[in-house]
């Protein structure tokens, strides 16, 4: 199977989405000249071009794309060619309203924006396959083609009748019989028993809380239905160009697609990232989603889209301050990206995104944005031969599973303040601040290469995952488990005893008797060998062999264990029944990492300096508000400047160094 290396060929791809159909052809000449000037090596073309390519059903217009690809090729710019199926033309919705998605309450989602397709609609699929076939046949052997990009940010949901029929087929595959389905969904509750398949619907708008197992299966189904659309187009383009890698771009930490399942079907994992430049922890959000992309890919990945400055979809859209675009791009390289691209090359004059930043802004080339884009192009050109294809090695895995996410965020639960993504972010932050490079992993994945495995909270754990975790600890691993974990099985049935018995044995706990969610802003003092304040959640635990690291000192649970630690087989298992405040969580995870024999990527760095190792290189990234002075052990060369770096290294605000070991 082709992979990202087939497109990068030892470089870092640099460029962005290019939408030349928004401009007269004279502009294209200027575009390619400026692309060369900026060091652009790759552009993504055609993402939203369906109406231009097929202005009427079956009537194709490829002349402009022929000229464009030839022009780009003549200037040495590679093309990531997109299938345009994310934005069907108005004629499709007009002639075939059944291709338009329906919301939970039955209203139609019309054309006039983008993404208005129902993944289960046979008519949509037929038309999407036809335009894909045309493109693939025409350009599959074009010398400019380096990669296929299928659709764009798959994320639609639909509750229409075609979806209902498709959902039933999916349920038949999963559950086999109606009896099994009724059992899996617990339909004895509230008189929900299904007597015929045709009675089953997607979970449409209803009077009160809907069946959680039905909601869970619908989330799984929707991810699978979209994935079928992806794999159908992937198969078409791969048939015409078997040596060209195929990808689609994921939204960062996106709830709607099971990333582990999707990554298996993609030759290249591609990610769009838009951290808020104004957010104190924007850099950590970037690191988290980059770690997820690398983990999904199992190696180098592609940063398909980011913004050079402001986006246009936040309530207030602020530009990136000087240097931040370069810093965050280098962060992605540090964390495994072999392609750094933007949305988009030339800023649009019209349409919904005319205020979204681009590589080439409305004001042209005489501005900081374009200068920074050009500098970054030169940086990446220099770094390419040293990093492209090299791995990032993490000693820690943070376990993440879309099934658990879907199951844990349904109505009718103990606390609506539990936010899966926010909790993952908090735990990742603790490791990120301590410069422990962390992969994300599925709970049933092979964990043996990690010294430390952490679970922020996985409400749902399958039998396979629980057996995997038990074996991991038994054979010497260190596991740190957060609250509300191992509670439900694969169908969202509560495990006997409330928390799975295998997990309790690993943790040295007899029982979790009660969950005690905390109110907004409420904290509980915890004391012991670690003193801290717990937030969000607490539990009434009964230990069975675990050492108590900290007890609740306040409130109804005063005197009860809050944090425990247990030796199981050759390993150690911690349990955190509350979420310590950020500094304390970092201290706890740092202690567990140290006891597990892990060292951070670099030590004694000023706060705000991120350190990541990629291959033999050490990336230092200054996210702090001012200059930072770093003491370096040994001798290095900074690949960005070509200068030796020994002893003390000063990083400007938003400054970065990419250090290679050097002879003294």
Nearest Cα neighbor of 414 from 480, 502, 498, 503 is 498
- In angstroms, the CA 80 to CA 245 distance is 10
* Residue nearer to ligand GLA on the CB measure, 272 or 403: 272
* Residue nearer to ligand GLA on the CB measure, 356 or 429: 356
- Read off the tokens for 525: 């003092």
Burial of 386 (0-12, 13-18, 19+ CB in 10 A): middle
Contact pick of 142, 166, 356, 654 for ligand GLA (by CB under 6 A): 356
- Read off the tokens for 73: 């090729």
Paired residues of 620 in beta bridges: 611, 657
* Cβ 353 to ligand GLA shortest distance, Å: 6
Regarding 152 and contact with ligand GLA (CB under 6 A), the answer is: yes
* Cβ 19 to ligand GLA shortest distance, Å: 9
Contacts of ligand GLA in 89-148 (CB under 6 A)? none
* Residue nearer to ligand GLA on the CB measure, 142 or 356: 356
Q: Is 574 annotated as a binding residue?
A: no
Q: Is 152 annotated as a binding residue?
A: yes
The answer to whether residue 305 is catalytic is yes
- In angstroms, the CA 596 to CA 580 distance is 20
Q: Is 260 annotated as a binding residue?
A: no
Residue 286 near residue 433 (C-beta atoms within 8 A): no
Contact pick of 79, 128, 311, 612 for ligand GLA (by CB under 6 A): 311
Contact pick of 154, 274, 370, 574 for ligand GLA (by CB under 6 A): 274
Residue 341 near residue 347 (C-beta atoms within 8 A): no
Contact pick of 54, 153, 338, 610 for ligand GLA (by CB under 6 A): 153
* Cβ 152 to ligand GLA shortest distance, Å: 5
* Cβ 86 to ligand GLA shortest distance, Å: 8
* Residue nearer to ligand GLA on the CB measure, 311 or 398: 311
341-380 core/surface letters (b: 16 or more CB in 10 A; e: else): bbbbbbbbeeeebeebbbbbbeeeeeebbbebbbbbbebb
Residues in CB range of 356: below 8 A, 6 or more apart: 307, 310, 311, 312, 343, 344, 347, 348
Contact pick of 262, 343, 345, 516 for ligand GLA (by CB under 6 A): 343
Helix (H), strand (E), coil (C) string for 413-478: CCCCCCCHHHHHHHHHHHHHHCCCCEEEECCCCCCCCCCEEEECCCCECCHHHHHHHHHHHHCCCE
Tell me how many residues contact ligand GLA (CB under 6 A). 9
Q: Is 313 annotated as a binding residue?
A: yes
* Cβ 611 to ligand GLA shortest distance, Å: 29
* Cβ 305 to ligand GLA shortest distance, Å: 4
* Residue nearer to ligand GLA on the CB measure, 127 or 356: 356
DSSP reduced 3-state for 270: strand
* Residue nearer to ligand GLA on the CB measure, 351 or 545: 351
Burial of 491 (0-12, 13-18, 19+ CB in 10 A): buried
- Read off the tokens for 154: 């798959």
Q: Is 118 annotated as a binding residue?
A: yes
Regarding 185 and contact with ligand GLA (CB under 6 A), the answer is: no
Q: In sequence order, what DSSP letters do the residues of 377-411 get, joined into one string?
A: HHHHHHHHHHHTT-----SEEEE--HHHHHHHT-S
- Read off the tokens for 468: 């995997």
What's the maximum distance between 2 C-alpha atoms anywhere in the chain?
78
- Which one of the listed residues 54, 233, 305, 610 is annotated catalytic? 305
Kindly write out the interface string for residues 277-306 of this chain, putting x where it contacts ligand GLA by CB under 6 A and - elsewhere.
----------------------------x-
- Read off the tokens for 119: 């993944």
The answer to whether residue 153 is catalytic is yes
Nearest Cα neighbor of 62 from 139, 3, 118 is 139
Q: Which residue is nearest to ligand GLA (CB)?
A: 272
- In angstroms, the CA 70 to CA 62 distance is 12
* Residue nearer to ligand GLA on the CB measure, 278 or 638: 278
* Cβ 48 to ligand GLA shortest distance, Å: 7
- Long-range CB contacts for residues 367-374, cutoff 8 Å, separation at least 24: 368/322, 369/308, 369/309, 369/325, 370/38, 372/308, 372/322, 372/323, 372/325, 372/326, 373/38, 373/308, 373/325, 374/37, 374/38, 374/39
344 upstream amide cis, omega within 30 of 0: yes
* Residue nearer to ligand GLA on the CB measure, 155 or 498: 155
- In angstroms, the CA 276 to CA 283 distance is 9
- Which one of the listed residues 54, 153, 233, 610 is annotated catalytic? 153
Contact pick of 31, 272, 338, 433 for ligand GLA (by CB under 6 A): 272
- In angstroms, the CA 601 to CA 614 distance is 10
Q: Is 565 annotated as a binding residue?
A: no
Regarding 359 and contact with ligand GLA (CB under 6 A), the answer is: no
* Residue nearer to ligand GLA on the CB measure, 311 or 602: 311
* Cβ 77 to ligand GLA shortest distance, Å: 20
Distance in angstroms between the alpha carbons of the first and the last residue of the chain:
43
* Cβ 499 to ligand GLA shortest distance, Å: 39
| Residues that are catalytic | 153, 305
Binding-site residues from annotation: 114, 118, 152, 158, 160, 313
Interface positions with ligand GLA (CB under 6 A): 152-153, 272, 274, 305, 311, 343, 353, 356
Binding-site residues from annotation for Zn(2+): 118, 158, 160
Binding-site residues from annotation for substrate: 114, 152, 313
């Amino acid at each position: 199977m082709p992979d990202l290396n087939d497109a990068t060929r030892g470089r870092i791809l640099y460029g962005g989405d290019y939408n030349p159909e928004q401009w007269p052809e004279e502009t294209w000449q200027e575009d390619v000249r400026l692309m060369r000037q900026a060091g652009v090596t790759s552009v993504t073309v055609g993402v939203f071009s369906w109406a231009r390519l097929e202005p009427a059903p079956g009537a194709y217009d490829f002349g402009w794309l022929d000229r464009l690809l030839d022009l780009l090729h003549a200037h040495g710019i590679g093309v990531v060619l997109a299938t345009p199926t994310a934005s069907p033309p108005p004629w499709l919705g007009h002639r075939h309203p059944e291709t338009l998605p329906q919301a939970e309450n039955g209203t139609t989602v019309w054309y006039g924006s983008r993404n208005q397709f129902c993944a289960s609609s046979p008519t949509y699929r037929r038309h999407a396959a036809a335009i894909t076939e045309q493109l693939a046949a025409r350009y599959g052997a074009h010398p400019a083609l380096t990669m296929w990009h299928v659709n764009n940010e798959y994320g639609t949901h639909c509750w229409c009748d075609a979806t209902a029929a498709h959902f039933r087929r999916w349920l038949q595959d999963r559950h086999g019989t109606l009896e099994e389905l009724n059992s899996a969904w617990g339909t004895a509750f509230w008189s929900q028993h299904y007597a015929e398949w045709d009675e089953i619907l997607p979970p449409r708008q209803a009077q009160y809380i809907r069946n959680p197992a039905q909601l869970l299966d619908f989330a799984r189904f929707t991810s699978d239905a979209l994935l079928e659309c992806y794999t159908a187009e992937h198969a078409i383009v791969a048939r015409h160009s078997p040596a060209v890698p195929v990808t689609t771009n994921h939204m960062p930490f996106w709830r709607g697609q099971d990333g582990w399942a999707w990554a298996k079907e993609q030759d290249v994992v591609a990610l769009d990232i838009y951290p808020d430049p104004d957010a104190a922890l924007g850099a950590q959000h970037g690191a988290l989603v980059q770690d997820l992309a690398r983990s999904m890919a199992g190696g180098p990945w592609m940063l398909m889209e980011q913004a050079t400055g402001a986006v246009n979809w936040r309530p207030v859209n602020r530009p990136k301050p000087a240097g931040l675009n370069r810093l965050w791009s280098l962060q992605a390289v540090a964390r495994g990206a072999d392609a750094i691209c933007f949305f988009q090359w030339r800023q649009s004059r019209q349409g919904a995104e005319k205020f979204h930043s681009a590589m080439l802004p409305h004001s042209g080339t005489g501005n900081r944005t374009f200068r920074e884009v050009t500098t970054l192009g030169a940086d990446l050109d220099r770094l390419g031969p040293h990093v492209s294809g090299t791995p990032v090695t993490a000693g820690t895995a943070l376990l993440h599973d879309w099934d658990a996410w879907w199951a844990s965020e349904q109505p009718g639960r103990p606390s609506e303040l539990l936010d899966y993504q926010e909790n993952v972010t908090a735990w990742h932050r603790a490791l990120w601040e301590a410069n422990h490079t962390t992969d994300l992993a599925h709970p049933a994945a092979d964990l043996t290469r990690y010294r430390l495995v952490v679970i922020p909270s996985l409400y749902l754990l399958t039998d396979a995952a629980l057996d995997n975790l038990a074996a991991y600890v038994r054979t010497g691993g260190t596991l740190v488990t957060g609250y509300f974990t191992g509670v439900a099985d694969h169908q969202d049935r509560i495990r006997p005893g409330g928390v799975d018995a295998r997990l309790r044995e690993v943790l040295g706990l007899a029982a979790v008797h009660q969950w005690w969610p905390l109110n907004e802003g409420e904290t509980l003092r915890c004391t012991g060998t670690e003193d801290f304040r717990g937030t969000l959640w607490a539990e009434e635990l009964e230990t069975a062999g675990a050492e108590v690291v900290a007890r609740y000192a306040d409130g109804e649970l005063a005197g009860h264990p809050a944090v425990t630690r247990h030796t199981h087989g050759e390993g150690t298992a911690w349990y955190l029944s509350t979420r310590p405040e950020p500094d304390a969580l970092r201290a706890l995870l740092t202690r567990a990492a140290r006891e597990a024999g892990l060292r951070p990527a670099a030590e004694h760095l000023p706060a705000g300096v991120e350190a990541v190792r990629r291959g033999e290189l050490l990336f230092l990234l200054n996210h702090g508000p001012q200059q930072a002075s770093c003491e370096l052990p040994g001798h290095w060369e900074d690949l960005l400047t070509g200068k030796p770096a020994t002893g003390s290294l000063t990083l400007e605000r938003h400054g970065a160094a990419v250090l290679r070991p050097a002879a003294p």
